[in-house]
């Protein structure tokens, strides 16, 4: 997520953000990696596929592992929306 986030930054996440609505393009979310569920990702929502899947992208596409490599992520794997960043 460089240049927005750098190693050592901390984020505050709202785990209830998507109980009543879907993520919106441009929002930053925390998600479980689809192939490695214990791995948490911080990515930006690029697009929605219907009401079940999100395409996620990193802010540094040249260095990011995101939906371009692992595909769309189920809405169920979105853990929350990033609301604050602490540098």
Instruction: Write down the pTM of the prediction.
Output: 0.93
Q: How confident is the model at residue 10 (pLDDT cuts 50, 70, 90)?
A: very high
| CA 56 to centroid of chain Cα atoms | 6
Q: What is the pLDDT of residues 55-79, one digit of tens each?
A: 999 999 888 999 999 999 999 999 9
Q: Which domains does the chain show, CATH number per domain?
A: 10-86 (2.10.109.10)
Q: Give the SS3 label for residue 3.
A: coil
Q: Report which secondary-structure segment, H or E, holds 48.
A: strand 40-49
């Amino acid at each position: 997520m460089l240049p927005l986030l750098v190693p050592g930054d901390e984020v505050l996440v709202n785990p209830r953000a998507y109980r009543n609505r879907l993520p919106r393009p441009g929002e930053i979310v925390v998600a479980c990696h689809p192939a490695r569920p214990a791995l948490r990702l911080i990515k930006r929502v690029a697009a929605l596929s219907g009401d079940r899947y999100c395409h996620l992208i990193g802010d540094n596409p040249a260095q990011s592992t995101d939906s371009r490599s692992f595909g769309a992520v189920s809405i169920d794997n979105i853990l929350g929306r990033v609301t604050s960043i602490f540098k």
